[in-house]
Amino acid sequence: MDPVTLTPPSPASTCVPDLAHVAVTHCRLCGAALSTSVANLGLSPLANSYIKPELENAMEAFYPLHAFICDDCHLVQLAEFESPQAIFGDYLYFSSYSESWLRHAQAYIRKQISRFGLGRQSLVVEIASNDGYLLQYASQAGIPALGVEPAANVAEVAISKGIPTDIAFFGQQTALRLKEAGYTANLMVANNVVAHVPDLHDFLEGFRILLADDGVVTFEFPHLLQLISQYQFDTIYHEHFSYFSLLVMRRALAMHDLRVFDVEELPTHGGSLRVYATPSANALLPTLPSVEEMMGRERAGGLEDIQTYRDFSKKIVTIKCDVLDFVIKAHREGATVAAYGAPAKGNTLLNYCGIGPELIPFTVDASPYKQNLLLPGTRIPILHPDALRKARPDYVLILPWNLKDEIMTSMADIREWGGRFVVPIPTLEIL
């Protein structure tokens, strides 16, 4: 297609209403009242709102972090949340700092090019395209690409790489604007973004608008079945408004005339799904047996049984006690514990457990955008990974436990002084 020059609207018009704090009492998918608790993690700050050292003693906002399940449609969701502007206006998560995630993105592009015959006349659009980590591989293959990213600081990195990026929140308004500008997507990509959306219907309608009649959209998201069965409560944080099963995602997409035709399991983020959907009228892509098979597994795993969620709520208290027992025992015995990583999930864990620098004096992270800042809530300093080699701690608590193999390989020299790795989820392990 011919190139089109975009003129993004002003930041104010690309955002949803600027609410400082919104309480949700009804399901954002079906509208039913919420009453069944899944995980009450107390008060917690925004998990990605890192603190500048000069603001160490400044006040910080804490909000209830309480997940509920809708008794009617079974969408797991937060009852209270902060506005997307406050969360994503200036974001410190850059996808390109994970080598395993880059490999994942490159393999994805190669697979979809082959499967759907994408070429120079196609258009790949990624929603929440971050720093261009995925679309760079489409561009390298000669396929036109467009990113849509609300965080201006992150989008600018993608633009500097030559990835056209529209700085906006995605929904009906943005989709219509892009459609009017001449864009129609053959492949749309939504990796780990649907959970971040407070208005699901506005978001999903945008895909119906922008997708070609025979186009494909893929959604990747942490699988609720894994969250529940592996007790991954630390993946619950204010930035994640919803937590999905295939059963629920299929229902949500059908409300916007999109049909799920395939699903794949992925190892990312502790266990994810990649859901393939297409306009309902597209007969060229029949629904594959994988869809019914996965929904059957979810039913067998109790995802439509409210008691499953009540049992989960009790188990996470045991995990909290185990983590506290470990760090307190290490402290009493004179052993030192440092952490690796500054992910959102780690901030949920540390704030829920009430662990601060008195027990874990520092953590390290490979991203220079996080180094020399403080973790929200706990005020634990974030340092360069070399700080571990200098301090030589007895234990290293891996906060992004989903990347434990990558981290243990890159930091293997910790074992030279007898250091050991610790992972907290699904049960605390010393490795």
Starting from the edge strand earliest in sequence, which strands make up the sheet with 76-78, in order? 36-44, 63-69, 76-78, 242-243
Q: What is the largest CA-CA distance in the chain?
A: 67
Neighbours of 257 (CB within 10 A): 13
Whether 174 and 246 share a structural domain: yes
Whether 267 and 335 share a structural domain: no
Residue environment code for 90-110, b if the CB has 16+ CB neighbours within 10 A, otherwise e:
ebbbbbbbbeebbebbbebbe
Where is the domain boundary, 247, 270, 304?
304
Whether 106 and 171 share a structural domain: yes
Query: Is residue 106 situated within a structural domain?
Result: yes
Taking each helix axis from N to C end, the angle separating 246-254 and 289-300, rounded to the nearest 10 degrees, works out to 130
Where residue 190 falls (left for φ over 0; alpha for ψ -120 to 50; beta otherwise) is: beta
Query: Is residue 324 situated within a structural domain?
Result: no
> Which pLDDT belongs to residue 270?
80
Query: Is residue 381 situated within a structural domain?
Result: yes
Instruction: Answer whether 193's CB lies under 8 Å from 174's CB.
Output: no
Mean pLDDT by groups of 10 residues along the chain of 431 residues: 41 35 75 93 92 94 93 89 59 64 92 96 96 94 96 90 94 97 97 92 98 98 96 92 97 98 91 97 97 98 95 94 97 97 95 97 94 96 96 97 92 94 95 93
Q: Which residues contact 252 (CB under 8 A, 6 or more apart)?
A: 29, 75, 200, 204
Neighbours of 395 (CB within 10 A): 19
Query: Is residue 69 situated within a structural domain?
Result: no
Tokens found for residue 256 = 């916007």
430: helix, strand or coil = strand
Neighbours of 301 (CB within 10 A): 16
Q: How many structural domains does the chain have?
A: 2
Tokens found for residue 237 = 């944080």
Whether 261 and 401 share a structural domain: no
Instruction: Answer whether 326's CB lies under 8 Å from 420's CB.
Output: no
CATH number assigned to the domain comprising residue 409: 3.40.50.720
CA distance 393 to 383: 14
Query: Is residue 74 situated within a structural domain?
Result: no
Tokens found for residue 106 = 């490159």
CA distance 221 to 248: 12
Q: Which amino acid is at 420?
A: R
Give the residue carrying structure tokens 């630390």.
Answer: 234
Give the H or E element holding residue 375.
none
Whether 372 and 286 share a structural domain: no
> Which pLDDT belongs to residue 25?
82
Whether 96 and 243 share a structural domain: yes
Query: Is residue 152 situated within a structural domain?
Result: yes
Query: Is residue 217 situated within a structural domain?
Result: yes
Whether 160 and 264 share a structural domain: yes
64 upstream amide cis, omega within 30 of 0: no
CA distance 294 to 11: 40
Whether 294 and 335 share a structural domain: no
| Beta pairing class for 76-78 and 363-364 | unpaired
222: helix, strand or coil = strand
Residues of the domain holding 135: 89-304
Whether 164 and 293 share a structural domain: yes
CA distance 209 to 184: 9
Query: Is residue 269 situated within a structural domain?
Result: yes
Instruction: Answer whether 345's CB lies under 8 Å from 237's CB.
Output: yes
Whether 299 and 373 share a structural domain: no
Tokens found for residue 390 = 């200098």
Instruction: Answer whether 97's CB lies under 8 Å from 135's CB.
Output: no
Tokens found for residue 290 = 């994988």
CA distance 288 to 302: 23
> Which pLDDT belongs to residue 389?
95
Whether 295 and 377 share a structural domain: no
Whether 263 and 384 share a structural domain: no
Task: Record the pTM.
Answer: 0.84
Q: Which amino acid is at 223?
A: H
Going by C-alpha positions, the residue among 185, 176, 208, 165 that lies closest to residue 122 is 185
Q: Can you give the length of the chain in residues?
A: 431
> Which pLDDT belongs to residue 91?
56
Helix locations, 301-385, DSSP H: 306-332, 344-353
> Which pLDDT belongs to residue 288?
98
> Which pLDDT belongs to residue 16?
37
CA distance 58 to 428: 33
